[in-house]
Amino acid sequence: MCGIAGMFMRGGAAAEAPVLQALADALYHRGPDSTDLWREGSVGLLSDRLAIMDVAGGNQPLYGPAGSVLVANGEIYNNPDLRAALVGHTFLTGSDCEPAAHLYERDGAGYASALRGMYAIAIWDPALEQLVVTRDPFGIKPLYYVQNEAGFFFASEPQALIAAGIVAPQVVEAQRDELLQLKYTVGRQTIYAGIERFLPGETLVIRDGAIAERQRIPALPARAGRTRLDGALAAFDKVMTDSVEQHLHTDVPYGLFLSGGIDSSILLLLMQRLSKTQIRAITVGYAGDPAMDESQAALRFAERHGAECHRVEMGEDDFFRLAPRIAAAIDDPTCDAAVLPTWLLGRAAREDGLKVTLCGEGADELFAGYRRYRPNLLKRLRGDMPRKVVFDKSEGVAFGTDWRVGIAAAEAEVRGRWSGATQRLQALDVAEWLPNDLLVKLDRCLMIHSVEGRTPYLDPEVAKFAATLPDTLKIQADLGKILPRRWLAAADPQYPAMAKKRGFNTPVGGWIAARAPQIAPLVARQPGVRELFTPTTVEAIIGDAARRDQPAWSLLYYSLWHSTRILGIPAEHDIAIVLAEAGR
């Protein structure tokens, strides 16, 4: 796990060492164990390494037998199988990423089809004078790029491209509106002018500092066959056990984020089955709000199954003190309030000495856990992919229509590949919601603390299995994730496996409402907010936070993100100080 970046200049211009160093400095939190820079002519690569596998000998760059040069951010779980299949190849390290360089030299730009893992990889091929850069199919590992007259630049985080002076921090209005309406931005264009995303599963081939080819590996397989109902539980057990076992390959201490929900509870039971040591888990609770606090259930579950579980707590004071830092950490912004507890979990993992944590992201998308997937709900809504927006017309916000273009294009692509309404929604979430909201949240909230998050549900073999399930094993009446629920009920009869999904909720509405008179005027004066909202509208939205928490949090989050990431105001102060400085 690392932060990676690099450049390929046009016209033979030399890659500049100060720019490469600036990129490395901006990504240091992602990999504080070592920083390695490599330059040759017009190409420069760097790795800030968080040492997980082959701690002593796995520094980058790594090299292929014919001279290819590789930097990577991620974990390749089928590394042992790849090494065994590369007969006659000599490996110089124990790094799980080294076989990727050998595969590239054997298979060319399509090499990533053999990889099982999460990764962002850049390979310089001196023989063909091309740079090949790849992101994993689910988009677990982030990757961004700038292509301009000077050349091609890429980095694990967009803020690094800004910090290195490659682009200026300028907001794109359509993506700003998209963020505020959907809670995240979709597709290739980020909220920053000039910075684009590698799409999940995408490989770009760069020649002479410009994109020459694009390839893409889909996250979801073509549907083939059906899992038999009488064998579904055994098949689920087999595929999830294998995935968890692969995700436990590490040379450093690991643990689990345990919410008390179905997904992480399943992971704990499988980890206990596979691990030779006691599982260390972390859960989060909320001071003074038992209605949203599932941490006690998580603690009881952990105790029942012999795991050690550490509870961290977040309260109103923590929120007002830490929210600016958390907003700044999510440089590719998402107005998902779950960033708040996830950031605390990441900090707690680091304090507990854990470099790796397993997490439950992806289960809802693959096994149909969200309420919006229910057929009875879909029938009541117009269209087969209902879309809920944060701000409605009654709030007097004058959004344009350009923000709808990205999500409409994503819907059209999904509609062309999938037939059923539920399957279309699942595929759309895997393509957009998952990589651009949930996985951004997970990556930034953990990597800011130099912790790696692993997602066993987001595995190619698990995805293949989930694609074979009939809807009756995903949804029944008003419940989703039927098969995982049945597995958990059999594994632990005391667990309320058939209770309705609660979600990873945060009492942010109450926290904002408690100090609404103080912060509403500050939010209203923030320059980014003033572009869209009148003071009267801001005061109404913030004042109604206890009843409608998402609009209030979206507005507050955007004001903090804009203040820290666009205006450059330091985030190491509380909400009132940061917003007061922004409004001067």
Angle between helices 404-417 and 173-182 (to 10 degrees): 70
Question: What's the count of helices (H) and strands (E) in the chain, helices before strands?
Answer: 23, 17
Quote the CA–CA distance of 198 and 154 in Å, as a whole number: 9
What pLDDT, on a 0 to 100 scale, did the predictor assign at position 417? 85
Q: Please report the pLDDT score of residue 278 as a whole number.
A: 95
Cβ atoms within 10 Å of 535's Cβ, excluding its own: 14
Tell me the pLDDT tens digit for each residue of 246-299: 999 999 999 999 999 999 999 999 999 999 899 999 999 998 767 677 899 999
Q: Which residue has the tokens 């910090």?
A: 163
CATH class of 2-216: alpha beta
What sign does the dihedral 242-442-290-482 (CA atoms) show?
A: negative
Phi, psi (deg, nearest 5) at residue 431: -75, -35
Q: What is the pLDDT of residues 356-392, one digit of tens each?
A: 999 999 999 999 999 888 865 555 555 566 678 899 8
Contact 28, 36 (CB under 8 A): no
* pLDDT of 1 above 70: no
Burial class (CB in 10 A: 0-12, 13-18, 19+), 203: buried
**Please, are residues 552 and 519 in contact by the beta-carbon 8 Å criterion?**
no
Lowest mean pLDDT among 232-236, 325-329, 499-503: 499-503
Which residues, 6 or more positions from 247, have their beta carbon under 8 angstroms from its beta carbon?
Answer: 77, 358, 454, 455, 456, 459
pLDDT one-digit tens code per residue, 451-477: 999 999 999 999 999 999 988 899 988
- SS3 assignment, position 46: strand
pLDDT for residue 194: 98
**Looking at the predicted structure, is the pLDDT value of residue 335 above 80?**
yes
Q: Which residues contact 524 (CB under 8 A, 6 or more apart)?
A: 530, 533, 534, 535, 538, 539
Which has more confidence, 381 or 547? 547
The pLDDT assigned to 57 comes to: 80
Which residue do the tokens 């470099």 mark?
Answer: 355
What span, in angstroms and rounded, lies between the C-alpha atoms of 242 and 239?
5
Q: Where in the chain is the domain with CATH 3.60.20.10?
A: 2-216
**103 pLDDT above the threshold of 60:** yes
* Reported confidence tier of residue 543, pLDDT bands at 50, 70, 90: very high
| Domain span(s) for CATH 3.40.50.620 in the chain | 229-393+400-491
Q: In this prediction, what percent of the chain has a pLDDT beyond 90?
A: 85
First-to-last CA distance in the chain? Answer: 40
Given a cut of 70, is residue 172 above it in pLDDT?
A: yes
Q: What is the pLDDT of residue 568?
A: 97
Report pLDDT for 383: 56
Predicted model pTM: 0.96
Q: What is the pLDDT of residues 315-331, one digit of tens each?
A: 999 999 999 999 999 99
What is the architecture, at CATH level 2, of domain 229-393+400-491? Answer: 3-Layer(aba) Sandwich (3.40)
The answer to whether residue 311 scores a pLDDT higher than 70 is yes
| Displacement of CA 431 from its chain's centroid (Å) | 12
Check residue 416 and give its pLDDT: 83
CA distances for 511 relative to 71, 292, 318, 442, angstroms: 43, 13, 10, 23
Q: Is 282 exposed, middle or buried (0-12, 13-18, 19+ CB in 10 A)?
A: buried
